[in-house]
Amino acid sequence: MRTTQSDLQKMRDAGEKIAILTCYDASFAALLEDAGVDVLLVGDSLGNVFQGEETTLPVTLDDMIYHTRCVARGSRQAFIMTDMPFGTSQVSPEDTFEHAAELMAAGANMVKIEGGSLMAPTVEFLIRRGIPVCAHIGLTPQSVNQLGGYTVQGRTGPQAKLLLDDAVALEKAGAGMLLMEVVPAALAARITRRLSIPTVGIGAGPDCSAQVLVLYDMLGIYSGKKARFMKNFMVDANGLRDGVERYVKAVKAGEFPAPEHAF
């Protein structure tokens, strides 16, 4: 039986950490869930690691539908979350719904949307029509040109308050999960305490309800400069499955991310 959003909420409420990895194909989908990964994120990071693009911006809706179908075919239990690519959620709520519905039909159990409180009306529109949403704040790669690069978000008081306000607004709009990328660990912990939904961290410290890494980063296959929050779990591992199991175990035990992986 496939993991549900309610199952993830129960894990969060019980204090059990949730292990997430990106996934783009059927073979890895089967391996990852067999190794204990709770959520498979079909990330638009496939633009970087799969297609060789410099950013996620060229990734299309058709790309995401194709890879979601592949992951859905290869898995039986893991929860599947799919990124809405650039240009598919920054439109009207009605058009966003049409795009999200295609991803759900391809096998997604939830869509992930980048952006702060500006996206709250769209999130509410989708939720009211049966599409679960994970909101994504902090470093939002689809806005890399506006942000001026891949930099830590929320360092100053005003920036931190804005992210906290965004998180609260998105939860109020109905978001079922909230991903925080490259934000100070203390801020991520504060937001996690404030919300009642699971929070997902990537470069956001150890206090989030869940942790996620790009699969290839976890495997030590870096498409560019290694970021501080990345860790190669294949070091001393006995094969791919063992490396993934090490990642899952480290997340569940609260051992990853360690202080050296946080901001």
pLDDT digits (tens, 9 = 90+) for 93-124: 999 999 999 999 999 999 999 999 999 999 99
pLDDT digits (tens, 9 = 90+) for 4-54: 999 999 999 999 999 999 999 999 999 999 999 999 999 999 999 999 999
CA dist list (Å): 254 to 211, 214, 259:
10, 18, 11
Instruction: Report whether pLDDT(223) > 80.
Output: no
33 is catalytic: no
SS3 of 185, please? Answer: helix
Mean local confidence (pLDDT), 244-254: 98
Instruction: Report whether pLDDT(233) > 70.
Output: yes
The pLDDT, as a whole number, for residue 147 is 67
**Do strands 39-42 and 79-83 pair parallel, antiparallel, or not at all (unpaired)?**
parallel
What DSSP designation does 232 have?
-
How many angstroms separate the CA atoms of 176 and 182, rounded? 20
CA dist list (Å): 178 to 64, 136, 164, 181, 220:
20, 6, 11, 10, 26
| All structural domains of the chain with their residue ranges | 5-261
The pLDDT, as a whole number, for residue 231 is 96
Which one from 33, 102, 114, 181 is the annotated catalytic residue? 181
pLDDT digits (tens, 9 = 90+) for 152-211: 999 999 999 999 999 999 999 999 999 999 999 999 999 999 999 999 999 999 999 999
The pLDDT, as a whole number, for residue 148 is 63
The architecture (CATH level 2) of 5-261 comes to Alpha-Beta Barrel (3.20)
The pLDDT, as a whole number, for residue 226 is 87
pTM tops 0.95: yes
DSSP H/E element including 73: helix 61-74
